[in-house]
Amino acid sequence: MSRHPYPPALSAGTLHLTNAWWAAAGLAIALAGTWAAWKFGLAAHSKPRLTYEIAGTPLLQAPRSIQARLEIRHLGTHLTDPHLMRIVLTCHGRRDIPSSSFDQDQPVTVDLGVPILDVLDSHSHPVGAQEPRAAATGTTLRIGPGRIRAGAHITYHVLTNGPCSPTWRDPLIDVTVTQATSNRLATRIGARRTPPPA
């Protein structure tokens, strides 16, 4: 039996199909690369989004006849209508909000319209997503400046003596800020938002 030292030559039809297959594979790879570059560019240039929620819970919810027989004090101060207020910030998307986004190092301010007696606590989720520091002066809670990690869910609890009518103001640059519309918090309070100075 004779042996052929070389493989048989490809027919014209086989060669055409092979070239077509490689052309299709090359087009698919090129399209995948273009799509990946577009997604990467979109993620790199899209603004981070911050939503905020403000909710309050009256600490005295008993009938008035019973409330008249109770007395609540905070550090010696008698409270007639104590409220626990929650300010919740959520950073959406894949990008952090860096501390440099706080224009001229100005904080986010939430004016609750009634004196803030104490900033009781703050915490963030996931654990380790350090929240910007908050401090209260008069009726206003000041948050930041500070980095807010992508995906972070940050809650501040403050104590007031009376229901609130909050006003939100932020100096954030290149950040989309909106009030959340979910019903996750039982007693949400609509906050008037004032635009940052031009």
Q: What is the pLDDT of residue 181?
A: 72
Q: Over range 21-45, report the average pLDDT.
A: 58
CATH of 49-194, one of 3.30.160, 2.20.28, 2.60.40, 2.40.10: 2.60.40
- Per residue in 178-191, pLDDT (tens digit) is 998 754 444 556 55
Q: Over range 6-34, report the average pLDDT.
A: 61
* Mean pLDDT rounded to a whole number for the chain: 81
pLDDT surpassing 80 at residue 176: yes
- Per residue in 49-71, pLDDT (tens digit) is 999 999 999 988 877 777 777 78
Q: Where are the domains of the chain?
A: 10-45, 49-194
User: What residues have CB less than 8 Å from 4, skipping those under 6 apart?
Assistant: none
Q: What is the pLDDT of residue 71?
A: 81
User: CA dist 146 to 8, 40, 96, 163, Å?
Assistant: 71, 26, 11, 29
**pTM (2 decimals)?**
0.70
User: What residues have CB less than 8 Å from 96, skipping those under 6 apart?
Assistant: 48, 147, 148, 149, 150
Apex CA 49: angle with CA 46 and CA 52, to 5°? 175
Contact 173, 145 (CB under 8 A): no
- Per residue in 137-161, pLDDT (tens digit) is 999 999 999 999 999 999 999 999 9
Q: What is the pLDDT of residue 170?
A: 95
Q: Which of 157, 132, 151, 128 is nearest to 143 (CA)?
A: 132
Q: What is the pLDDT of residue 138?
A: 96
Contact 179, 167 (CB under 8 A): no
Q: What is the pLDDT of residue 6?
A: 54
pLDDT surpassing 60 at residue 45: no
Q: Over range 109-132, report the average pLDDT.
A: 91
* pLDDT-derived band at 128, boundaries 50, 70, 90: confident
User: What residues have CB less than 8 Å from 196, skipping those under 6 apart?
Assistant: 103, 169, 170, 171, 172
